[in-house]
Structure 1
Amino acid sequence: MTADLIAVVLLLAVTAYACAGGADYGAGFWDLTAGGARRGRRARWLVDHAMAPVWEVNNVWLIFVLVLMWTGFPVLFQAVFSAMWVPLALAVVGMVLRGAGFAFRKPSRRPAGRRLYGAVFAVASVVTPFFLGAAAGGVASGRVTPGTEASAHAWSGPTSLVFGLGAVTTSAFLGAVFLTGDARRFDAPDLVGHFRRRALGGLGVLAVLAVVTAFVLHDDSPYVWHGLTHGPGLFLVAVAVVSAVATGALLLRASPGVWVRVAAVGAVGSSVLAWGTAQRPYLLPTSLTVADAAGAPATLTWLAIVTLVALLLVVPAVVLLYWLDTHGELEELTDAELRGGGSTGARDDGGPAAGGDG
């Protein structure tokens, strides 16, 4: 019973990272595709201002996932990281480079340095979710079993490919939805339209990719396919479809509100939950069940207690952080404000007051 509870918490943590971290990676995707220095200046300005207050906290969910895996399900941890250390290592390198690029590009004084750091941040924002998705696809396909040796076969199959592309596309979709709201909050109507169109485009690509994924899963991962087309898995798929349609409808409104973010997160979160539910009772379809992968009973009991305490401390703090960010309470001070004079609207960082979208 305790093992099942920890497995549910693990799935919820993966879902939280897919949604929160996905929006983060998506912002980096649109930074990459914003265009040249002049044309993409305002879009990149919005990415910087939208991400800066919360970008690091999203990795809390990834750390939580890793702790639950190696403590609660050591056999799962060993199997996954032994068989797929290559894509996971590439994803970690991407995270490090992404963080460094984001941290160094704004204070860099030389244009060449800003371009270099910006390119590192943007490219890593695409590479990282792809390899994380490819690893998840390797799990869903059943290619990873206890004792599987590291090889490209474990993570380069059709399911891994569509999961990797799905992770990038989902991130781009979430990032565009969140940036649409941030553009509205920063009173930048041109950027609202800019990212609204990209969110709708991302939603369309996701719809096509979902159909392709269904065909791939039918042939390459029959166990997960059966779980997605029956019982709770089918219900969650239906929730994801309804949420996606609602997201599209809300994006078409003249002024998308906060509910468009809720609908987008609902679509992505339901999809991840559907995948996890479709695998039950397996953590590695058809080779490793939750019961077989679980650690010692005493370890699981203490892990459940520590997890409860952590959630009671962390979740309210994260919710407060997101609330403060969405209500504009975490904006950086401008040079004029630091000097004790000048208007807050007269920005020197290329913000909305700087004019049109060159």
Structure 2
Amino acid sequence: MATTAAVILFVAITLYAIFGGADFGAGLWDLVAGGTRRGERPREVIDHSIAPVWEANHVWLIFVFVLLWTCFPEAYASITLTLFVPLTLAALGIVLRGASFAFRKAVFRTRDKRNFGAAFAVSSVLVPYCLGAVVGGIASGRVPAGGKAGDPWDSWVNPTSVLGGVLAVCVTAYLAAFFLVIDAQRLSDEAMVTYFRRRATAAAVAAGLVSAGGILVLTQDAEYLFDGLTSRALPLVILAAICGLAALLLLTRRARHGARLAAVGAVASVVLAWAAAQWDYLLPTSLTVSAAAAPSGTIAAVLVATGLAVVLIVPAFVLLYVLDQKTLLPDEGMPEPPADGPDPHVTGGSSVRST
């Protein structure tokens, strides 16, 4: 049962990397969209893309934490005690990002919109970097077993963690750009399709270069992970490369839906390659899955709850994403102010942009 719980854990991490990653990556493109006038239309497409689903995407992260602390409490204690700094920064970034995304729709002054927009965009880069640094600290064996705290700084300020953070930012930008190409196409905005297609290509190249350079880092700083990636996880590494190249090829041939699926496949393969490379350790090379497992009764209860969630909650997620892709969900936001200024009696509401 411990192995089943660990597999579910890594699948949930993969789902968060895909859905949450696309969400964070959209914030990065918001950050580099340019000034108010030049970046207006790209930001409108970004808002239209993530507004209906941005809150739902983080459910996967909550599930990961609940599953980890319930089924593998020793690993959870070690990770949180050692990596509390990047985890705290990530938590603060998620809260700041969500609040800023909501509030920038509720203000009318350009200065306030810029301030909230900047907080949203910067947090969108900070969070994936910190989470990638956490993965790097775990994968390089800097988190001790036994529910003990390791070095609070070296555990995430090290070559492998920097590689993980930078790669996470590149991958989220890469994934988001492919999603935004489809969303711009749904809006019949060919200019924005071209705009995000170019950024998808640039992000793919950046992610590929970082991954290639990362090989040298892993050979020196995370030998166990490197050995795993070049042996038992090698098929997934090759699959990630194939999917990445296929995504670019399909994008140039205007097979955009196929390109998005290939991009998702590339990201999923990367995450699963990390899992396979360090298997069967949760904390390389000190804590295995079986050694970290909670009592069998606890794991059995969690697996039953997970099964119920699959039956009751996953269909709701599928419906949400289908309605979003069919542009049947209203956007979040405030009504536009009248020409002579905002109505002091207006305190809330929603508006639906024409698509």
User: Does 2:14 align with 1:26?
Assistant: no
CA distance in 1, matches of 2:326, 2:320: 10
CA distance in structure 1 between the partners assigned to 2:353 and 2:95 by the alignment:
27
How do residues 3-42 of structure 1 correspond to structure 2 at under 5 angstroms? 3-42=2-41
CA distance in 1, matches of 2:276, 2:45: 37
Residue type matched to 1:216 in 2?
A: V
Query: 1:1-358 residue pairs with structure 2 within 5 A?
Result: 2-146=1-145, 147-231=148-232, 233-253=233-253, 255-332=254-331
Q: Equivalents in 1 of 2:169, 2:93: separation in Å?
A: 13
Query: Is this contact kept in 1: 2:84–2:152, CA < 8 A?
Result: no
How far the C-alpha of 1:318 sits from its partner, in A, is 1.1
CA–CA distance in 1 between the matches of 2:59 and 2:335?
31
CA contact (8 A) 2:331 2:353 kept: no
Aligned mates of 2:318, 2:160 — CA distance in 1: 34
Higher mean alpha-carbon deviation, 162-171 vs 208-217, is at 208-217
Deviation at residue 332 of structure 1 after TM alignment: 3.6
- Tell me how far 1:351 sits from its aligned partner: 7.0
- Compute the displacement of 1:111 (Å): 1.1
Please identify, of 109-118 and 22-31, the stretch whose mean Cα deviation from structure 2 is larger.
109-118
Does the 8 Å contact 1:243/1:266 carry over to 2? yes
Question: What is the CA distance between 1:328 and its match in structure 2?
Answer: 1.4
Give the superposition deviation at 1:149.
Answer: 3.1
The answer on whether the counterparts of 1:142 and 1:221 sit within 8 Å (CA) in structure 2 is yes
- Cα distance in structure 1, aligned partners of 2:13 and 2:246: 23
- For each residue in 1:275-308, what CA deviation from the matched residue of structure 2 results, as whole angstroms up to 9, or x when unmatched? 0011111000000000111111110111111111
Contact 1:134-1:161 at 8 Å conserved across structures: yes
Residue 143 of structure 1 deviates from its aligned partner by 0.8
Partners of 2:282 and 2:110 lie apart in 1 by 48
CA distance in 1, matches of 2:316, 2:353: 29
**What is the Cα deviation at residue 148 of structure 1?**
3.2
Residue 339 of structure 2 corresponds to which residue in structure 1? none
SS at match of 1:153: coil
Look up the SS of the partner of 1:205 in the other structure. Answer: helix
Contact 1:34 1:40 in 2 (8 A): yes
Tell me by how many angstroms 1:324 deviates. 1.2
Question: Which structure 1 segments of 5+ residues have no match?
Answer: 337-348, 354-358
Opposite residue 190 of structure 1, the aligned amino acid is A
TM-score by length of 1: 0.91
Deviations 1:5-36 (A, max 9, x none): 00000000000000100000000000000000
After TM superposition, give the deviation of residue 311 of structure 1 in Å: 1.8
Contact 1:134 1:163 in 2 (8 A): yes
Identity of aligned pairs, percent? 46
Distance 1:350 1:201 in 2: 32
Per-residue Cα deviation, 1:107-162 (whole angstroms, up to 9, x for no partner): 21111111111011000000010001001100000011122334211111100000
Aligned to 1:283, the other structure's residue is in SS state: strand
1:171-228 Cα shifts (integer Å, max 9, x gaps): 1111111001100000111000000000000000111011111111111111111111
| Structure 2 unaligned residues grouped into runs of 5+ | 337-350
> What amino acid does structure 1 have at the position aligned with 2:33?
A
Aligned to 1:345: none
Q: Does the CA contact (< 8 Å) of 2:278 and 2:284 recur in 1?
A: yes
Return the offset for 1:319.
Answer: 1.5
**TM-score after normalising by structure 2:** 0.92
Structural RMSD (CA): 1.7
- Report the counterpart of residue 345 of structure 2 in structure 1: none
Distance in 1 separating the partners of 2:10 and 2:124: 23
Measure the CA separation in 2 of the matches of 1:276 and 1:113: 43
| Aligned pairs, number | 338
